[in-house]
Structure 1
Amino acid sequence: MRAPGVFETVDVAPPGEADLPDGAVLLRTLAGGICGSDVPKVKGAKGARLGPRGEFLPGRPGFPMHEVVGEVAASRHPEAEPGARVVGWATASDAIAEYVVTDGAQVHPYDPRFEPRAAVLIQSLACVIYALDRVPVAGLDVVVLGVGPIGAMFAHVAKDAGARRVTGVDPVDRSDLPPVLGFDETLAATAAGWAAGVGERDRPQVVIEAVGHQVGTLADAVSGAAPGGTILYFGIPDDDVYPLNMESLMRKNLALVGGVTRDRRRSLARADAYLQKHPDLYGALVTHEFDRGTVQQAFDTAVRASADRLKVVLDLG
C-alpha cells in the first residue's frame, strides 16, 4: 500500500527458512479475507509508516491483511509440517504477499476438502466462537449491532447455540440476507435509533456490538439492553478510552464482556469443525471474490458499506 487506500504491485526478495525465528512458519499464501479491523489500516489511521514530517510512506509488502490460508513452505514450529495447508493469523498483517512469516501457534491445518478461499472463514469463525463461549445465549433474545460479515457470523453461531431470537441492526438494509444466517429480523436502523426506540418488553438479554471503530455504539448497547443483560463488545476500538454511562450500567445490573481470541490453534480447530457442520456458510457469507491482480478493487469494495456486500475474499493461489 503506497498511500492510504492505494495499492501497487512490487517485487521484493521473499523470506527464506533462514529468516524464521523459533516457533515461526513460512507460508506460501493461497487465500485471505478482508476484515473490518483492516479498514482503519487501509485508511491510514492505524499501522501507517510515517516520515519525519508525518507524511505517509509505502507500507511493508503484503500489508494490511491478517486472515490467511497458506501452504507451509518451511517451519520451525513442531506442529506445522512443510507441505501442510493451514489457516489462521498473519501476525505482521502482510497476508497479501506471496510469502509471509507468521507465528506457528496462530495457524492450524484445516479440512482438506475445503478450497482455500472457503477455509478463510475459519479464522473469523474462530474469533466469533471463542467470544460467544463467554456469553450464554441459549433461550435468550440477542441483538447484533452491525450486520457485516462478523455480525452475520454472530447471528449464525448464536442461533446454533440455541438463542431464542436474533435481531440484526444496521443502517444498511439487510432484509435480503439468506435465512440460513439465522437472523429472525433485521432492522435498517442506526444503533442509536434502535436504542431510543426499543420497547421495554423487546429489550434483549444479550447485545453484541460488532461495529467498533467509534465510541457511540457501546453507549447504545448499554441503553438498549434489558436489565440484567450482557453486552459483548467485539468491535475493534480505535480509541483507548470510551465514555460510558456507568450509572445506567449499574442501575440495570449489566455485564460488559470484551477481549480478544486466545488459544488460537484450539479455536481454529473448533471453527474448522463448525464449518464442516455448516458448509453452506461460504455461499451465504462470501459475496465478492478477487485475485492478487485485483487487490485494489477488493479493498475498494470492502471499505464501502452496501446491501450486496458481506465477506470479501482474495484467492491468492
Structure 2
Amino acid sequence: MAQVWAYRMQGPGFVERYEVPDDTTPLGPHKVRLRLLVAGLCGSDMPRFNGTVVGRIPGPLSDGAPMHEVVAEVLESTSDRLQVGQRVVGTTGHTGLCEFLTTSDSLLIGVPDELDDVEAVTIQSLGTVLRAADELPDLSGCRTAVIGAGPIGLSFCHVLKQYGAGHVTAIDPIDRQDVAIRYGADEFVRMNSRHWLQTLSADERPQVTIEAVGHQHVTIGNAIAAVAQGGFVYGFGTPDDDDYVLDYRDIYERNLTLSSGHTIDDWPTVLEKGRDYLLKHREDFADYVSHVVAAAEAQTAYTLYARPQVGRLKVAIVNRDLTGS
C-alpha cells in the first residue's frame, strides 16, 4: 500500500514527520479527498503544540500536529459544489497536518483563480474575523481598541476601520507599530494590556474593545476594565481553560456587553465573506503571510509561530520544495 507523509506531536513543542498508509476508503456523501497545498498556522493551534491544553477545544482531536486552515486540491469528490481538480480553501476541523485528508464539503469553498495558494490561506481566518465583526454594534465614529496585534488583531484593525470606526488603537507588547498603522490602526501602543489600561483617561476609553489574544483570562479582564461606560467587549481569542474569573459586578454596574463565540456552522458563507473582502483589499493584505515554510521543515514553522516576535505575522506551510531545485 502506498505511503504518504503526515506529522504528529512528538512531545510539547516538537512535531515529527512519519509515513502512513494512503487512505483508500470510499467517500461518503458530501465528502472530498484533498491534497494539501498550503496550511496556515493559527493561534488556536498553539495550545496543542505547546502541550498546554486544559479546557475543551472545539472540534475533534487527533494525534496529528495541530492544523486546521487549508488550501488544497480536490482529488475525489461526492460533493455537488466542489469538483475534482478544483482548488479549495477552508477548515479541516482539526484533522492535523498531513499530505492527504478527507473532510466535509460544508467546510470549504473554491479559490478564485486570481489568488495564489499562499494568498488564499488568509481567507479562512479573515472570514472568522468578519463573522465576529458582524456581531458588533454600529461602529460609526466609535473609539475602538484591539488587544493583540498579531495576524487576527491586524485583521480586526482593518475591518474596524472599514466598518466606520472613528479611532482604532492597537495594543501589543511586541513592536508592531508600522504594520498596525498599515492595517488601519490610528494609534499603536507598545505595552501589555494591563499597563495600557492603567494609562487610560476617562475620555480615552474605547466604546468597543476586541480581545484578540486568548489563552488566558488576564487580557479579556483588561478588555472589560478598559471599555467605556455602556461599552461592548468582544472576546475573540481562544480560551485554554473552562473557567475564567471576570469582574461581573463591573460588567453589571457599568452596563457593559460581553460577547464571544467561534465559527461552528455555515462555513461557506463565512469563507465567501473572507474571499470577497480579501479580493477587495488584496493589496492591503499583501504581507499578511510573512513566512512560507516547506512541509519538510514543519518544525521550523511551528517553532516560529509559537513565539510572538517582530516581523512574524501569518506562517504558511507549503506542500512543495522551496529550494528551487
TM-score, normalised to structure 1, is 0.92
> Where does structure 1 lack aligned partners over 5 or more consecutive residues?
48-58
83-92 or 222-231, which moves further after superposition? 83-92
Q: Paired residue for 2:102?
A: 101
For residue 221 of structure 1, the aligned residue among 220, 223, 241 is 223
C-alpha contact (below 8 Å) 1:209/1:218 kept by paired residues: yes
1:35 pairs with 2:42: yes
Q: Paired residue for 2:323?
A: none
Q: Paired residue for 2:283?
A: 280
1:24 pairs with 2:26: no
> In structure 2, what residue type is equivalent to 1:6?
F
C-alpha contact (below 8 Å) 2:87/2:111 kept by paired residues: yes
Q: Paired residue for 2:150?
A: 148
SS of alignment partner, residue 279 of structure 1: coil
Q: Paired residue for 1:51?
A: none
For residue 67 of structure 1, the aligned residue among 66, 69, 81 is 69
C-alpha contact (below 8 Å) 2:129/2:156 kept by paired residues: yes
Q: Paired residue for 2:58?
A: none
Alignment RMSD (CA, Å): 1.6
For residue 232 of structure 1, the aligned residue among 234, 248, 260 is 234
Which structure 2 residues correspond to residues 85-234 of structure 1 after superposition, within 5 A?
A: 85-94=87-96, 96-136=97-137, 137-177=139-179, 179-234=181-236
Per-residue Cα deviation, 1:148-194 (whole angstroms, up to 9, x for no partner): 10000000111111111111111112113164311111111111111
Offset of 1:62 from its aligned partner?
Answer: 4.7
SS of alignment partner, residue 154 of structure 1: helix
C-alpha contact (below 8 Å) 1:17/1:26 kept by paired residues: no
Q: Paired residue for 1:269?
A: 272
84-93 or 114-123, which moves further after superposition? 84-93
TM-score, normalised to structure 2, is 0.89
1:46 pairs with 2:86: no
Offset of 1:279 from its aligned partner?
Answer: 1.0
Tell me, in whole angstroms, the C-alpha distance in 1 between the residues paired with 2:140 and 2:21: 51
The verdict on how the C-alpha distance between 1:7 and 1:236 changes in structure 2, with shifts beyond 3 A counting, is same
Q: Paired residue for 1:50?
A: none
156-165 or 74-83, which moves further after superposition? 74-83
Q: Paired residue for 2:298?
A: 295
SS of alignment partner, residue 122 of structure 1: helix
Tell me, in whole angstroms, the C-alpha distance in 2 between the residues paired with 1:40 and 1:183: 28
C-alpha contact (below 8 Å) 2:149/2:180 kept by paired residues: no
Q: Paired residue for 1:305?
A: 308
> In structure 1, what residue type is equivalent to 2:116?
E
SS of alignment partner, residue 20 of structure 2: coil
Offset of 1:60 from its aligned partner?
Answer: 5.4
The verdict on how the C-alpha distance between 1:151 and 1:42 changes in structure 2, with shifts beyond 3 A counting, is same
Tell me, in whole angstroms, the C-alpha distance in 2 between the residues paired with 1:304 and 1:195: 24
Aligned residues: 304
Q: Paired residue for 2:318?
A: 315
Tell me, in whole angstroms, the C-alpha distance in 2 between the residues paired with 1:138 and 1:27: 42
Tell me, in whole angstroms, the C-alpha distance in 2 between the residues paired with 1:308 and 1:98: 28
Tell me, in whole angstroms, the C-alpha distance in 2 between the residues paired with 1:133 and 1:15: 39
Identical pairs, percent: 37
C-alpha contact (below 8 Å) 1:17/1:75 kept by paired residues: no
Offset of 1:17 from its aligned partner?
Answer: 5.0
